[in-house]
Every structure is written in C-alpha cells, then in structure tokens.
Chain A
Amino acid sequence: MTAARGNSRPATGDRSADAPGVPPAPGPLARHILSLADTKRLLGIRYSDWLLGSPSIETGIAASSMAQDEWGHARLLYSMLKRLGFDPVAVEQDRPAERYYSAPALDDPFPDWAAFVAATVVVDGALAVALESFSHGNFALARSRVPKMLAEEEYHRQFGAAWFARLAGAGGEGAAHLEAAARAMLPTTLAWLLPDDPAYEAVVAECDIWEAGRVRARFRERVGAVLAGVGVRLEEISPARAGWDPERRRGPGAPGEEAVERARGDRNRALFVE
C-alpha cells in the first residue's frame, strides 16, 4: 500500500507555485482525505449561515450543533494527513479557494431554507456514505476515528429526513424549492461521491474502500426514499463530470472567497495558539 499514499505525484500547474504553504499535489489517499475534510469544513460554514435564520429556535440550535460537528470531523480528517507527510496546519490555513477540494454544491451559500434541507440529505448524506466506506477500509486512522463521526452523523440524517419529509409533504412553494435544490445539488455531488478516475480506483484497490457501485447503492439506500418525496428518482440522475479536475476530485469552480476566509480563520490569525 504505497502508491495511493503520500505525496507521490509532483506538483503540477500554477496554483501550487504561487500559494505559499500549500502542499504539492497529493497522492490518491491524500486527495481522498482532503476531499472529505474540505467538504465537511465548507458544509459546516454553510450550516453556520443558518444559526439565526432557521425556522425555529430549536432548528437554529441544531444547525449550530451540526456545524460544529462538521468542523470537528474536518479537523480530525485534516490531522490524518500528517501520517501522509503533510502539515495539517498549512493545509487548513494556507490554501486559496481554488485549491479547495470541497463538493461543488457548497461553493455558494444556500439561498433559502429549502436548500439547507436539501443539502442535509444530498451532501451530508453523500459525505456519510463516503465516510462509511472509508471506515470499512484498511487505513487505520479511518477505522479508529470515523465510527464516532458516523454516530454523530446519524442525528444529521434524522434531521434531514424529517425536514425533507415535512417540506415535501406541505407541497406548494416550499416543496418546489426543495425539489429544485435537490436536483441542482445531485449531479455534482454524485460526481464528487463517485469519481470515475484512476486516483479513486487506486484508493479502492490499496485502501480497500468500497468500489463505486457499492457506494452508489448505499447512497440510494440512505437517501433514495427521502428524495422520492419530491419526485426525484436517484437512478435517473447522472453524475456531472464535465470539466473534471482530477487533482481536486471535483468539477470546475471553487468555494466563494468569503467562505474560505472563514474556513481558514484569516481574521483570527493573530489570535491562533498552537
């Protein structure tokens, strides 16, 4: 198990060269971890946007708790990169937006509550399935750390499923927004969850995570019935692979700079204590 791990590939392109502290292009396993960690960090940012604007006090508290869950999980995932020769602090604090590996559905803030709910099912659900797969592989840090994340994620699943069913059941404008948000997020999120490239195949082969067919089946099992509440049939949605960036394991684009500034903690940098 060597090819999938560490900085096995040389730095490529201009992004690495002009970004101080950014690690060179990662190997397949490091890419896998960065993709999970960055998606969790951005999802935490997007959840945190709704601490005060959600439909009830309790919902805002739950959004706050879920945001903190995501950030805690991200921190644990970033720390795994140390085993692969990266400096996790540099990875967390020194990358520009275009060096983020996060799922494209999180590039922009959620425009409304329906989009928040759709993300708890689509994006959080995809993350949970990817983590479940990772925890069943042979990378020891994932086997030891991910199960607790998945236990906390169970409350995210319940939250998403209950809210999705509620908005879908109410019909009208809310259900229409929910369906539109889910349909907008699914193609890029499926591409993120099911990378059709050699780097993902290397992680499957060498770290014994689930192959794409099993991941897709598990995702369908987790969210298929929920999405059907607004008429979305998962088997009819194709991954959006146009413009695929194999280095960042995602399609084109990048998270908004403002979100990345928050993710890096730029404004609190002078207060950091390590």
Chain B
Amino acid sequence: MSRGGGGSAGGTEADRRARTGLHEGVYEVFARKRRGDPLRHIGYIDAPGDELARVYAWKTYDEENWFEMCVVPRGAIIPVNRSDGPWARNR
C-alpha cells in the first residue's frame, strides 16, 4: 500500500487538516532491500513528527521486506545541481 514520490494531498485532505489543526511535514523515504544495495528513494509521507514519520513510512512502504529504511525531513535535503523539483525551495 505505497505511494510514489512527488505531488501533494488534495483539497479534501487539506481541508480536514485545517479543521483538525493537524499540520504535517513532508518526509522523504529511502530504503534498501539488502545490506550491500544502494539506498534508494522510494517515496514520501506526510507526518507531524519524527516518531510518526518512522511508523508511517514503515507501514506505507511495507510491500518489500526491507533490510533498511530511513526518513529525512524534506526541508533538510540540500539540492546540489537543480533549481526545480520538490527540494528546490531548500536551495
């Protein structure tokens, strides 16, 4: 039950968050299947903090038996060579 990278929640979801006061941040999800594999970007999740980001990532991208998974706040990613895309605002 995974979802791919890019995009954002639709209006209904945004409306609900506004109603409930649940303001969330975006976390990028990286994982590898085996110890020697490169860490691969597999998608993103919205979460209100690091603890729930871990749970949401593990439960959302559970179609593989991952050897390792980690999450990174989107705001912590520093683009090197691109001025467009989801991380550009961090330049």
Contact = CB atoms under 8 A, between A and B. Distances in A.
Interface of A: 55-59, 61-62, 64-66, 155, 158-159, 161-163, 166, 170
Given A56-B22, A57-B9, A161 B51 contact: yes
B24 interface: yes
Contacts of B20: 55
Most buried by A among B48, B52, B55: B55
A253 to B, nearest CB: 32
A59 B56 contact: yes
B49 interface: yes
Interface residues of B, number: 24
Contacts, number: 56
Contacts of B56: 58-59, 61-62
Given A56-B46, A58-B46, A65-B1, A155 B55 contact: yes
B15 interface: no
30 contacts: A55-B16, A55-B20, A55-B22, A56-B9, A56-B13, A56-B16, A56-B22, A57-B3, A58-B45, A58-B47, A58-B52, A58-B56, A61-B1, A61-B59, A61-B60, A62-B59, A62-B60, A65-B1, A66-B59, A155-B55, A158-B51, A158-B54, A161-B51, A162-B49, A162-B51, A162-B52, A163-B52, A166-B48, A166-B52, A170-B21
A149 to B, nearest CB: 16
B13 A158 contact: no
Interface in B1-50: 1, 3, 9, 13, 16-17, 20-22, 24, 45-49
Interface string B54-87: 1110111010000000000000000000000000
A155 B9 contact: no
Specify the main secondary structure of chain A where it touches its partner. helix
Nearest to B58: A155
Contact of A58 (B21, B49, B60): B60
Interface of B: 1, 3, 9, 13, 16-17, 20-22, 24, 45-49, 51-52, 54-56, 58-60, 62
Nearest to B53: A58
A185 B16 CA distance: 28
A124 to B, nearest CB: 13
A78 B24 CA distance: 39
B49 A65 contact: no
Contacts of A163: 52
A213 B58 CA distance: 34
A65 B2 CA distance: 11
B22 to A, nearest CB: 5
A170 B20 CA distance: 11
**8 closest residue pairs by CB, A with B:** A65-B59, A162-B51, A58-B56, A62-B59, A162-B52, A159-B55, A61-B60, A58-B45
A59 B47 CA distance: 9
A56 B24 contact: yes
Nearest to B24: A56
Q: Which one of A56, A159, A163, A170 has the greatest number of beta carbons of chain B within 10 Å? A: A56
Nearest to B48: A166
Contacts of B59: 58, 61-62, 64-66, 155
A64 B47 CA distance: 16
